[in-house]
Amino acid sequence: MSAVTRSAILALGLLVAACGQMPGSRPTVTEPAPQAKPPVTAQEPAKPAWNTRPTPPAPVETAPLPPSGGPAPGNAIPSAPVGAVPTPGLSAPAPKPAIRVALLVPLSGRAQAVGQNLLEAAQIAVFDHASEGFKLLPFDTEKDGATAAANAAVAAGAHIILGPLFSNQVSEVAPIAKAAGLSVISFSNDRSVAQTGVYTLGLSPVQALQRVLAITHEKGATRYAALVPDSAIGRQTLAALEKAVPQLGSTVVRADTYPAAATDFQGIVRRTAEYDRRRAQPTPPPSYQVLVLAEAGARLKQMGPWIPYYDIDVKDVRLVGPPAWDDTTLGAEPGLVGGWYAAPDPAARGPFEEKFKAAFGATPNRIASLAYDAVALTAVIGKLTGGPNFSDSTLTNPNGFAGVEGLFRLNMDGSSERGLAVWEIQRGQHKQVAPAPGSFLPPAN
């Protein structure tokens, strides 16, 4: 790829949240099936009344959204308005090379609703960003399995695979894609399945923890502890803590685990609170300033009351948790108020959710934006490079890309990074402690 083309990618930074019109021919979505069928082009619908603002200036080129309800899987996504007919006597421009993008998602089975949302978000991205020759090829990973879906994608001539959703399926798809020379951008957040050419686009709890730990250190913390379940996510959290804290010049002074199936947290919290040692009056604070937890949702709410009961006070100890703490109901538990976590800014997601509701009449699930970002990434790279140029060097642009929920980038080891804000649990709306970074570049001296 030329330096000029790469510079263009760096300059644009994938403005995937833009809205407007793009001249071009008909990008399509084929029928989701284990065996891909030839694309079917639907008739062009009337332009929705809510999408009538003028075309933005170049170089940002996007396409209109589908009308409310959107195209059902199996129908082609209609194109943006076709450009002017060439003047008689002049040669028509050469057709652009086809770009075939496989989308591997669960379109049946227990995760069908999630997979359908991923497909619908992908369809919106096609409308926003795809140009002539772009074809989105959906394959169901549940009916005949992820292996069959990956083989069907290769047989259909896909240039890149987006998905699958689950980490075990990523492990199945990866060798098939590598043998065919294809990159994979999965929707998993499990870094253990990431490798060169096989990317995990989901929000990594490891990266989120690294982000919030850095902010606690900036605020003066030097002594850290962990209380995590003896499970895959607990072990991953503890490993990330024990790696990140020394890099900050700080110390992990305590690390406790408990059975993953535990439901009674009283004794578990009492031990980590060092309560028996601290029972003398006045009660001194624990030996640490930050306590990292891995629980979320109902189990965190079960644990919450025991935290202040055993004198872990937010004035002395900052609770830190995973991105799943982005849950306003947690503020109803006094013991959790003041806890910190890293997550995207929900305000950045607003335009995408409005667009999705207008097209499909419902609110998308939390991870639907991953499919939008992945399709937008491939569509814009295809336009800027003139074809399906999905090499590792192109996909791992160090400057990253602007996605639905903010900045993100793919790394050569297959992991992904996101620009995450740090939030504090409050009663009602959570409070932002530190904004998401606007760039992956180191700050200028």
**Taking Cα atoms as reference points, which of 436, 345, 344, 355 lies closest to residue 18?**
355
Inform me whether the pLDDT recorded for 77 exceeds 70: no
Flag the least confident range among 42-56, 59-73, 93-107, 303-317.
42-56
**Taking Cα atoms as reference points, which of 11, 88, 21 lies closest to residue 51?**
21
Q: Which residues contact residue 414 at a Cβ distance below 8 angstroms, ignoring those fewer than 6 apart?
A: 191, 193, 194, 195, 196, 197, 198, 199, 200
For the segment 176-223, what is each residue's pLDDT rounded down to a tens digit?
Answer: 999 999 999 999 999 999 999 999 999 999 999 999 999 999 999 999
- Based on the number of CB atoms within 10 Å of its own CB, is 62 exposed (0-12), middle (13-18) or buried (19 or more)? buried
- Confidence (pLDDT) at 91: 56
- Confidence (pLDDT) at 97: 80
Inform me whether the pLDDT recorded for 438 exceeds 70: yes
Structure tokens, 20: 């407007």
CA distance 427 to 333: 8
What is the share, in percent, of the chain residues with pLDDT greater than 70?
78
Q: Which residues contact residue 214 at a Cβ distance below 8 angstroms, ignoring those fewer than 6 apart?
A: 244, 248
CA distance 308 to 116: 42
Mean pLDDT of 275-298: 89
- Confidence (pLDDT) at 284: 83
- Confidence (pLDDT) at 339: 98
Containing 306, the helix (H) or strand (E) segment is: helix 306-309
pLDDT classification of 78: cutoffs 50, 70, 90:
very low
Average pLDDT of the chain is 83
Inform me whether the pLDDT recorded for 95 exceeds 70: no
- Confidence (pLDDT) at 181: 98
Cβ neighbours of 199 (radius 10 Å): 28
pLDDT classification of 36: cutoffs 50, 70, 90:
very low
Containing 122, the helix (H) or strand (E) segment is: helix 112-129
- Confidence (pLDDT) at 29: 55
- Confidence (pLDDT) at 443: 65
- Confidence (pLDDT) at 428: 87
DSSP state of 325: G
pLDDT classification of 282: cutoffs 50, 70, 90:
confident
CATH, range 3-45+70-81+97-203+347-414: 3.40.50.2300
Higher pLDDT, 423 or 84: 423
Inform me whether the pLDDT recorded for 13 exceeds 50: no
For the segment 119-145, what is each residue's pLDDT rounded down to a tens digit?
Answer: 999 999 999 999 989 999 999 999 999
Mean pLDDT of 336-363: 96
Inform me whether the pLDDT recorded for 269 exceeds 50: yes
Model pTM score = 0.79
Residue 195's DSSP bridge partners are 198
CA distance 100 to 412: 23
Query: What residues does each domain of the chain span?
Result: 3-45+70-81+97-203+347-414, 205-343+421-434
Q: Which residues contact residue 380 at a Cβ distance below 8 angstroms, ignoring those fewer than 6 apart?
A: 9, 12, 14, 16, 129
The two domains 3-45+70-81+97-203+347-414 and 205-343+421-434 share their CATH topology (first three levels equal): yes
Q: Which CATH class, in words, describes the domain spanning 205-343+421-434?
A: alpha beta
pLDDT classification of 387: cutoffs 50, 70, 90:
very high
